[in-house]
Amino acid sequence: MKVTTSRNGVASERIATALRESILRGEHPPGTRILQEDVAADFGASRLPVREAFRILEADGLITLVANTGAWVSRLSLAECEEIYQLRERIEPLLLGYSIQNLTPEQLDRLDELAVTMQTLRDPEEFLRLDREFHLLSYAGAHTAILGDTVRRLWNTTQHYRRAYTLLLDPDGNRIVHDEHHMLVQALRRADADDAERVLLGHIRRTRLELARHPALFD
């Protein structure tokens, strides 16, 4: 019995990881139904690890499980998205403040490298991948019981809308995003929590305000 449970656990993590990556890449748009039997067939698995994988992804904020209908990729209304971004504006600077004193020189160098690399990219998906690495790495020095997991969940939930925002950027908006990344790295290197938190709050707020100008994204 223990072996079976272990195997199901390994299978569910493998399935959850693959589905998480595909959802974050935009292969399953918000509102898409994911059928348990299709996933089981794709992975050569029974339904038990698929159900467990779905529970993992629901906890990640990536899917919504609806009784008697199955799993759906999470989608937000404009009001829900605005509320989540307002929440992010408040808690991510707090998480950054917890992190700033514990970031290593190697992590700061990687943040600098990511900021420079993102500025040269033309592929939106690669930008999104590195941008996610950049911001989550900036929080890596924080040791929290709840806040870090909450922020990652909110990032997952808003991934599709971050993609939409990236595609909406004009040259001036794109320049501002990159300037803010560099300003954030400079503040982190100085261990200036007030400045870093200020830059980050404005960075997140800018996305919220731009998305609010495009309500059709949420239809």
pLDDT digits (tens, 9 = 90+) for 14-70: 999 999 999 999 999 999 999 999 999 999 999 899 999 999 999 999 999 988 788
Under CATH, what is the fold of the domain 2-73? Arc Repressor Mutant, subunit A (1.10.10)
Confidence category of residue 3, pLDDT binned at 50, 70, 90? very low
> Where do the structural domains in the chain lie, given as residue ranges?
2-73, 78-218
CATH node for 78-218? 1.20.120.530
Give the pLDDT of residue 5: 38
Asked which of 65-69, 91-95, 156-160 is least confident by mean pLDDT, the reply is: 65-69
pLDDT digits (tens, 9 = 90+) for 186-214: 999 999 999 999 999 999 999 999 999 99
Give the pLDDT of residue 8: 60
Give the pLDDT of residue 67: 83
Give the pLDDT of residue 70: 85
Give the pLDDT of residue 7: 58
> Does 4 score more than 80 pLDDT?
no
Secondary structure of 1-61 as H, E, C letters: CHHHHHHHHHHHHHHHHHHHHHHHCCCCCCCCEECHHHHHHHHCCCHHHHHHHHHHHHHCC
pLDDT digits (tens, 9 = 90+) for 99-143: 999 999 999 999 999 999 999 998 999 999 999 999 999 999 999
Give the pLDDT of residue 144: 96
The yes-or-no answer to whether 2-73 and 78-218 have a common fold is: no
